[in-house]
């Protein structure tokens, strides 16, 4: 009840003053969306690259005759 009384006494900003705050809020929201989308694009490209490597490895393993020794391939860990 007291919050309603306090908020009732606060005057609203005039439209000529509120416009710059609304514009700033939209700019910040747009910048955050760009950052989020770029992070997701980077992650997706890394996952696609790793998936391609896994698919290539399984195709090579399927082409080898049974009982053949596996080739020694040293790979860097991409876990980060």
Q: Digits of tens for pLDDT over the chain (80 positions)?
A: 566 666 667 666 666 778 889 999 999 999 999 999 999 999 999 999 999 999 999 998 888 877 666 666 565 655 55
- Given CA atoms 21, 22, 28, 32 in this order, what sign does their dihedral have? positive
Query: Is 30:58 a contact under the CB 8 Å cutoff?
Result: no
pTM of the model: 0.56
End-to-end CA distance of the chain: 51
Cβ-contact 49, 78 below 8 angstroms: no
- Tokens 């009384």 locate to 5
């Amino acid at each position: 009840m007291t919050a309603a009384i306090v908020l009732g006494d606060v005057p609203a900003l005039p439209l000529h003053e509120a416009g710059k705050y609304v514009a700033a809020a939209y700019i910040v929201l747009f910048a955050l969306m760009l950052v989020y989308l770029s992070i997701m694009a980077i992650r997706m490209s890394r996952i696609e690259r790793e998936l391609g490597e896994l698919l290539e490895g399984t195709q090579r393993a399927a082409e080898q005759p049974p009982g053949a020794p596996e080739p020694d391939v040293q790979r860097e860990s991409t876990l980060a």
